[in-house]
Chains A and B, each alone.
Chain A
Amino acid sequence: MDFVFKHKRISGILTILPQKAVKFEDEMANYNFSPAKCMKLKIAMGYNEHRIAAEGQTSADFCEHGLRYLVDNNLLNPNEVDALLFVSQSPDYFLPPTSNLLHGKFGMRQDCLCMDINQGCAGFELGLIQACMLLDQPAIKKVVLLNADVLSPKVSPQDRNSKPLVGDAAAITVIDQCQEDNPIYANIKMDGTGALVLNIPAGGFRMPSTAETAVMEEDAAGNFRSKDNLVMQGDEVFNFVQREVPPMIEHLYEQSGVDRNEVDWYMFHQPNKFMLNKLADKLGVPRDKMPANIVENFGNASGVTVPTCISYNLGDQLCNNTMQLCMAGFGVGLTWSSIMMKVGQLMFNRIIEY
């Protein structure tokens, strides 16, 4: 499904990272692999360290900290927020929505729309599309998009498929109406037949968590995890990404009329370095135009990797310049989405810690 939006702009991006950084080497002993093989894996996948939330910290806490930072620094007025979107797979509660909790903490207006969206790796793109759809309404002039995930407590420490790459983080993106045309081209696709390729089997209503679901079991590859843990069929995910993402980006070039040489940066979701490098090669994009340094330095925090990639690699450059960005997210759902838009003259584009 294709979308085009006009008269909307991103006016700021703030990424919030946990202070705690864990080195790959510190967790290697948990994996059912020789140290030599672990080190080869580290190099090929680009694992180095990942940021992990402190015990008890939730996605909402990171969002609250970031929102407080913006308010305290006069970068956001809560009274001007017309819609608050929280895109996450780690809400505080089944109910109420986390966006409503944050709405209450900041005393936002009663006519501010709150919405939680359950989405993972394509959560930034889906959130931006939703924000732009809301901004098509005259009553909505400013949307605050919260992407946040604290999934590390759900990952088995003995699962080398997932543990080395998962990180926790949040990002706040402010999207406004604007006078300029500023066309935004987006597309999104879904394939629910692959919905359980990335899954936490227990803990919802289908399979409540019990003592039985907490029992650790060994899989065919020697990983240990329980039904309460995240399970990722890595081969399936890899094949899906390599099959679907390149044609999606080729379609985005056609849809937007933007030539590949006009794109300044490719800001893609970051499952691992190997996967991203393969995508860059397939698309004929120089690897240095598609930064693959987020998993390496911070870990993969689902829908937060794209804004983290923008904040980390471009920072203040985007406050003083305007650049053509091609963004893409792919994974949980299965969902894959891409956006072509100019981003620049931001009020803020930075990383803080919590």
Chain B
Amino acid sequence: MKEKIIKILTELRPEFDFTQEGVDFIEEGMLDSFDLVTLVSELDNTFGISIDGVDILPENFSSVDAIAALLVKNGAK
């Protein structure tokens, strides 16, 4: 799952390294609110789920682990 997430993130913002540990993607400006819209659409399609709208909050996209936890919560396997 994490590899797929990193691949999607890298395609979205190729200028950043999303494999770094301890980096907050939001605080560092690696993802903005419009990236989140595109990212959610990609994640929905890739994992065959629909991420709940109330979960589309910046803190749930701050790291690969946070995104993975969000996907699991929304039914991704």
A interface residue numbers (CB < 8 A to B):
33, 37, 40-41, 43-45, 160, 221, 234-235, 238-239, 241-243, 274-275, 277-279, 281-282
Beyond A40-B38, A41-B38, A44-B41, is A279–B33 a contact (Cβ under 8 Å)? Answer: no
Contact present for A274 and B37 (CB under 8 Å): yes
User: A235-B33, A239-B57 given as contacts; is B52 within 8 A of A282 (CB)?
Assistant: yes
Report the minimum CB–CB distance from B27 to chain A (whole Å). 13
Contact status B37-A221, CB under 8 Å: no
Contacts of A242 in B (CB 8 A): 52-54, 56
Residue among A44, A239, A241, A243 with most chain B CB within 10 A:
A44
> Whose C-beta in chain B lies nearest to the C-beta of A274?
B37
List the interface of chain B (C-beta within 8 A of A).
12, 32-34, 37-38, 40-41, 50-54, 56-58
Q: Which residues of A contact B33 (CB under 8 A)?
A: 221, 234-235
**A44 B37 Cβ-Cβ under 8 A:** yes
Give chain B residues whose Cβ lies under 8 Å from the Cβ of A37.
34
Residues in A whose Cβ lies below 8 Å from that of B34? 33, 37, 41, 160
Report the bound CA distance from A279 to B41 in whole Å: 14
Q: Known pairs A241-B53, A282-B50. 11 more at Cβ < 8 A?
A: A33-B34, A40-B12, A40-B38, A43-B41, A44-B37, A221-B32, A238-B53, A239-B54, A242-B53, A274-B37, A278-B52
B50 near A281 with CB under 8 A, answer yes
- Closest chain-A Cβ to B52's Cβ sits at a distance in Å of 6
- Alpha-carbon separation in the docked complex, A238 to B36 (Å): 12
**When the two chains form their complex, are residues B38 and A279 in contact, meaning their CB atoms are under 8 A apart?**
no
Q: Could you tell me the distance in whole angstroms from the C-beta of A274 to the nearest C-beta in chain B?
A: 5
CB neighbours (8 Å) of A275 from chain B are 53
Report the minimal beta-carbon distance from A203 to chain B, rounded to whole angstroms: 27
Contact B53 A41 (CB under 8 A): no
Q: Name the B residues within 8 Å of A41 (CB-CB).
A: 34, 37-38
**Which of B12, B50, B51, B58 has most chain A Cβ within 10 Å?**
B50
Question: Is the CB–CB distance between B50 and A278 below 8 Å?
Answer: yes
Residues of B within 8 A of A235 (CB): 33, 58
- Report A336 CB to chain B, min CB distance, Å: 14
- Decide: A243 and B54 in contact? CB cutoff 8 A: yes
| A51 CB to nearest B CB, Å | 23
Cβ contacts under 8 Å, A278 to chain B: 50-53, 56
Task: State how many angstroms separate the Cβ of A272 from the closest Cβ of chain B.
Answer: 9
Chain A residues in 8 Å Cβ range of B57: 239
Q: List 6 A-B contacts (CB under 8 A).
A: A37-B34, A40-B38, A41-B38, A242-B52, A243-B54, A277-B50
Of the candidates A45, A281, A282, the one whose C-beta lies within 8 Å of that of B37 is: A45
Query: With a CB–CB cut-off of 8 A, which chain A residues contact B38?
Result: 40-41, 44
- A33 and B33 alpha carbons, distance in the complex (Å): 13
A282 touches B53 (CB 8 A): yes
CB distance from B46 to the nearest CB of A (A): 14
CA distance in complex: A4, B57 (Å): 36
Shortest distance from the beta carbon of B23 to any chain A beta carbon, whole Å: 19
- Rounded to whole Å, the gap between the CB of A285 and the closest CB of chain B is 12
Top 6 closest A-B pairs, CB basis? A242-B53, A281-B50, A278-B53, A44-B37, A40-B38, A242-B54
